[in-house]
Chain A
Amino acid sequence: MNQMKMEHVPGKARGKITLYALSTCGWCAKTKELLRELGVDHFYVFVDLLPPEELEEAIREVEKFNPAGSFPTLVINEGTRVIIGFREQEIREALG
Chain B
Amino acid sequence: MAVLPPGVSQRDFSAAIAQFQSAVGKDWVFTSDPDVALYRDAYSPAWGQAEERLASAAVAPDSTEQVQQIVRTANIYKIPLFPISTGKNLGYGGSAPNLSGSVVVDLKRMNRILEVDDVRHYALVEPGVAYFDLYRHIQEKKLNVWIDTPDPGWGSVMGNALDHGVGYTTSQFRNHFDAHCGMEVVLANGEVMRTGLGAVPGSKTWQDYKYGFGPTVDGLFAQGNYGIVTKMGIWLMPAPEAYTSGTVSVAKHDDLIRLVEMVNYLENLGISNGMPGFGFALGAGGGRGGPGVQPDAQLAALLGREGGPDIAELERYAAANNRAFWTCRLQFYGPKTVVAAQWEYAKSRLAAIPGSRATDGPSYDFPLTPEQLARVQQVAFGVPNMSIFSIGARTERNPTPSSGHVWFSPIIPRTGEGILESQKVLWQAGRDAGIPFNRFAMPATYYSRAFIYIIGIPITRNVETDRKNRDGFRQLIKVAAEHGWVEYRTAPLYQDNVMDTYSFNNHALRRFCETMKEAVDPNGIMAPGRSGIWSKRHPRARA
A and B associate in one complex: no
Using a CB–CB cutoff of 8 Å, the interface residues on chain A facing chain B are none
Using a CB–CB cutoff of 8 Å, the interface residues on chain B facing chain A are none
